[in-house]
Amino acid sequence: MPAVLPAVAEQLFRDIRKTYQETAQIPDDLLIALRFVFGACAVQALDLVDQRSVTCLSSPSGRKAFQVIGASGSLYTCFTSCHYCPCPAFAYTVLRRNDGLLCKHILAVCLCEAMGVTRMQSASDEQMTALLSGTLL
């Protein structure tokens, strides 16, 4: 979970984690809170979660990156540690206009992590280096 998120967003993810572990559902009040905090991208992120579009790549050295298959089928490599996604919406809405905390891809990663439903995949240190340098998709 990105450390740059406001406390209210971090608490929301903690509440989702706790409730989802107990009931395997996100109750309506937390869904409403998600929509309030993250806006329209919350629904799109939940759709990505439902489609199991998020995969965590981890290497023996402990490096992690998340790959999200977007609604259009494009693959986005997201980094929650530095709060980055290469999608156009992140560049425009989050960075340029400062209209949102996250794009739907990073939000989907945070939700998957909170819910414990992230698909896991191992990657060698060499593969992770290539991924981080942008030479491997």
Q: Is the distance from CB of 105 to CB of 85 less than 8 angstroms?
A: yes
> pLDDT tens, 17-73?
999 999 999 999 999 999 999 998 999 999 999 999 999 999 999 989 999 999 899
Which amino acid, one-letter code, is at 113?
A: E
Domain ranges of the chain: 7-132
Asked whether the whole model's pTM tops 0.75, one would answer yes
